[in-house]
């Protein structure tokens, strides 16, 4: 697995829509047809949200055979175990097998599936696979890579604000940076039909820049980190030069996106004003 960072999830919201979402990293009692099961919820990288436990037999758990549960979006009845029940059954929180077999887990008690109701994602999920949606993945925009972006299925695993995390469920056919099983991050951008994969580097750098939407289609993000684009746009840039503005080709329509340093003195809120700064060097070039 190329990336192994832990999953981040937002704390539960009070909204009614999440009342029925299951918590991760928690002992629960599930009422299955025919019998009750006490199980611990966790994330399996391959299989997704899961739980393992045992049938309830009177006051005891039948620990002779372990049950593994995979959850679909269907409703079922469950409740958290009370701490005295956990104690009475002799259970550990968390059980040692969770990290040992399934690696880093989301924060205990995070609600699984809270992203399903996120306004940016709602309506994009498959009815039978409520965490799975399509995301545009890529090796970079047209200045960086010749490989065309591809739409793949991604199973969402977490979110932080408006940045979502998930696992790629397909083998992209022509990309070299993205493979089946990779953990990726993505955002929903204006002007794009599908959510767009973003890299950690892009997210880190993006804060310092204003990305003006594409002049043709309105696309509001970049496929590449600004520093990578600057290296390509200004290959002969003298060391120490500060680039305050550059342009990118829109990966969708070939239009132009002006990208401007947030504290650029020539920048006025809401519009790009291509006024050269007082410098002897050519400091920006228009492309397209």
Tokens of 190: 């204006």
Smallest gap from Cβ 245 to Zn ion, in A, equals 18
Q: Which three-class secondary structure state does DSSP give residue 84?
A: helix
CA 186 to chain centre: 5
Q: Contact between 250 and Zn ion (CB under 5 A)?
A: yes
Smallest gap from Cβ 214 to Zn ion, in A, equals 3
Applying CB under 5 A, the span of 21-29, 155-163, 218-226, 260-268 interacting with Zn ion comes to 218-226
Listed residue (287, 214, 203) closest to 253, CA to CA: 214
* Strand duo 196-198 + 183-187: pairing: antiparallel
Applying CB under 5 A, the span of 22-30, 160-168, 210-218, 231-239 interacting with Zn ion comes to 210-218
Q: Contact between 216 and Zn ion (CB under 5 A)?
A: yes
Smallest gap from Cβ 218 to Zn ion, in A, equals 7
Residue 27 or 219: which CB sits closer to Zn ion? 219
Contacting Zn ion within 251-280 (CB under 5 A): 252-253, 255
Residue 164 or 252: which CB sits closer to Zn ion? 252
Q: Contact between 189 and Zn ion (CB under 5 A)?
A: no
Query: Which residues, including other chains, have CB under 8 Å from residue 7's CB and lie 6 or more apart?
Result: 43, 104, 105, 106, 157, 158, 165
Q: Which three-class secondary structure state does DSSP give residue 164?
A: strand
Out of 22, 203, 217, 266, the only residue in the binding site for Zn ion (CB under 5 A) is 217
Tokens of 230: 């600057």
Residue 172 or 255: which CB sits closer to Zn ion? 255
Smallest gap from Cβ 257 to Zn ion, in A, equals 7
Q: Which three-class secondary structure state does DSSP give residue 173?
A: coil
CB 25 within 8 A of CB 19: no
What φ, ψ does residue 81 adopt, rounded to 5°? -75, 140
Out of 156, 214, 233, 248, the only residue in the binding site for Zn ion (CB under 5 A) is 214
Q: Contact between 210 and Zn ion (CB under 5 A)?
A: no
Residue 205 or 221: which CB sits closer to Zn ion? 221
What is d(CA 134, CA 190) in angstroms, rounded to the nearest whole number? Answer: 16
Binding site for Zn ion (CB under 5 A): 214, 216-217, 219, 250, 252-253, 255
């Amino acid at each position: 697995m190329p990336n192994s960072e832990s999953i981040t999830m937002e704390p539960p919201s009070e909204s009614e829509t999440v009342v029925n979402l299951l918590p991760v990293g928690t002992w629960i009692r599930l009422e299955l047809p025919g019998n009750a099961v006490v199980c611990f919820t966790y994330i399996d990288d391959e299989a997704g949200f899961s739980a393992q436990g045992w049938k309830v037999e009177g006051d005891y758990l039948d620990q002779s055979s372990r049950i593994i549960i995979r959850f679909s979006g269907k409703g079922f009845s469950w409740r958290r175990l009370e701490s005295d029940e956990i104690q009475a059954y002799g259970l550990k929180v968390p059980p040692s097998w969770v990290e040992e077999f399934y690696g880093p887990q989301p924060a205990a008690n995070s609600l699984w599936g809270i992203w399903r109701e996120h306004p940016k994602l709602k309506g994009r999920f498959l009815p039978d696979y409520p965490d799975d949606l399509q995301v545009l993945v890529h090796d970079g925009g047209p200045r960086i890579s010749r490989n065309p972006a591809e739409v793949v299925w991604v199973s969402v695993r977490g979110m932080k604000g408006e940045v979502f995390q998930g696992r790629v469920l397909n083998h992209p056919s022509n990309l070299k940076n993205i493979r089946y099983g990779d953990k990726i991050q993505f955002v929903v951008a204006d002007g794009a039909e599908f959510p767009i994969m973003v890299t950690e580097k892009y997210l880190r750098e993006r804060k310092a820049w204003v990305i003006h939407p594409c002049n043709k289609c309105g696309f509001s993000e970049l496929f590449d980190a600004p520093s990578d684009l600057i290296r390509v746009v200004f290959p002969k840039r003298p060391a120490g030069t500060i680039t305050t503005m550059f342009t990118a080709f829109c990966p969708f329509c070939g239009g132009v996106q002006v990208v401007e340093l947030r504290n650029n003195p020539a920048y006025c809120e809401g519009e790009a004003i291509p006024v050269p700064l007082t410098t002897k060097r050519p400091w920006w070039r228009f492309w397209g």
